[in-house]
Amino acid sequence: MKDYIEDRVYEIAAYIVETGSTVRACAGKFSVSKSTVHKDMTERLPAINACLAEQVREILDVNKAERHIRGGLATKAKYEQLEETP
Protein backbone atom coordinates (compact mmCIF):
# COMPACT_ATOMS: atom_id res chain seq x y z
CA MET A 1 0.00 0.00 0.00
CA LYS A 2 1.30 3.42 -0.89
CA ASP A 3 2.28 5.75 1.93
CA TYR A 4 -0.24 8.46 1.06
CA ILE A 5 -3.09 5.93 1.19
CA GLU A 6 -1.97 4.64 4.56
CA ASP A 7 -1.69 8.21 5.85
CA ARG A 8 -5.23 8.97 4.61
CA VAL A 9 -6.57 5.82 6.28
CA TYR A 10 -5.07 6.84 9.62
CA GLU A 11 -6.30 10.43 9.29
CA ILE A 12 -9.85 9.39 8.51
CA ALA A 13 -9.89 6.76 11.26
CA ALA A 14 -8.63 9.28 13.82
CA TYR A 15 -11.26 11.78 12.70
CA ILE A 16 -14.06 9.22 13.04
CA VAL A 17 -12.90 8.18 16.52
CA GLU A 18 -12.55 11.79 17.70
CA THR A 19 -15.82 13.12 16.28
CA GLY A 20 -18.07 10.09 15.73
CA SER A 21 -18.48 11.35 12.19
CA THR A 22 -20.43 9.59 9.44
CA VAL A 23 -18.93 8.20 6.25
CA ARG A 24 -20.61 10.99 4.26
CA ALA A 25 -19.19 13.70 6.53
CA CYS A 26 -15.70 12.19 6.33
CA ALA A 27 -15.90 12.01 2.56
CA GLY A 28 -16.71 15.71 2.42
CA LYS A 29 -14.04 16.67 4.94
CA PHE A 30 -11.25 14.74 3.20
CA SER A 31 -12.46 15.37 -0.37
CA VAL A 32 -12.80 11.71 -1.28
CA SER A 33 -15.82 9.60 -2.21
CA LYS A 34 -17.99 7.74 0.29
CA SER A 35 -16.85 4.53 -1.38
CA THR A 36 -13.22 5.42 -0.69
CA VAL A 37 -13.91 6.13 2.99
CA HIS A 38 -15.86 2.89 3.31
CA LYS A 39 -13.14 0.82 1.62
CA ASP A 40 -10.44 2.50 3.73
CA MET A 41 -12.28 1.76 6.97
CA THR A 42 -13.53 -1.76 6.22
CA GLU A 43 -10.69 -3.25 4.17
CA ARG A 44 -7.49 -1.25 4.50
CA LEU A 45 -7.61 -0.22 8.17
CA PRO A 46 -8.04 -3.78 9.56
CA ALA A 47 -4.94 -4.83 7.64
CA ILE A 48 -2.95 -1.95 9.13
CA ASN A 49 -4.29 -1.59 12.69
CA ALA A 50 -6.91 -4.07 13.92
CA CYS A 51 -7.47 -2.33 17.27
CA LEU A 52 -8.23 1.04 15.66
CA ALA A 53 -10.37 -0.71 13.05
CA GLU A 54 -12.55 -2.17 15.82
CA GLN A 55 -13.09 1.27 17.37
CA VAL A 56 -14.05 2.71 13.99
CA ARG A 57 -16.35 -0.24 13.23
CA GLU A 58 -18.29 0.35 16.47
CA ILE A 59 -18.84 4.02 15.60
CA LEU A 60 -19.85 3.25 12.02
CA ASP A 61 -22.30 0.59 13.23
CA VAL A 62 -23.96 3.13 15.54
CA ASN A 63 -24.14 5.67 12.71
CA LYS A 64 -25.70 3.07 10.42
CA ALA A 65 -28.29 2.14 13.05
CA GLU A 66 -29.23 5.81 13.52
CA ARG A 67 -29.27 6.91 9.88
CA HIS A 68 -33.02 6.51 9.46
CA ILE A 69 -33.55 8.85 12.40
CA ARG A 70 -31.23 11.52 10.96
CA GLY A 71 -32.98 11.22 7.60
CA GLY A 72 -36.38 11.72 9.22
CA LEU A 73 -35.16 14.76 11.12
CA ALA A 74 -33.71 16.26 7.96
CA THR A 75 -36.99 15.76 6.11
CA LYS A 76 -38.95 17.29 9.00
CA ALA A 77 -36.65 20.34 9.08
CA LYS A 78 -36.99 20.74 5.30
CA TYR A 79 -40.78 20.86 5.41
CA GLU A 80 -40.85 23.11 8.47
CA GLN A 81 -38.64 25.56 6.58
CA LEU A 82 -40.93 25.39 3.54
CA GLU A 83 -43.93 26.22 5.74
CA GLU A 84 -42.19 29.31 7.14
CA THR A 85 -41.43 30.85 3.75
CA PRO A 86 -44.43 32.48 2.05
User: Does residue 42 register a pLDDT over 90?
Assistant: yes
Segment 11-41, tens digit of pLDDT: 999 999 999 999 999 999 999 999 999 999 9
Residues 71 and 13: their CA atoms lie apart, in Å, by: 24
Bigger pLDDT: 14 or 82?
14
Q: How far apart are CA 25 and CA 81, in angstroms?
A: 23
Contact (CB, 8 A) for 17 and 52 = yes
Q: Is the pLDDT of residue 67 over 90?
A: no
Q: Check residue 10 and give its pLDDT.
A: 97
Q: Where are the domains of the chain?
A: 3-84
Sequence-ordered strand ranges (E) for 13-77: none
> pTM for the full model?
0.80
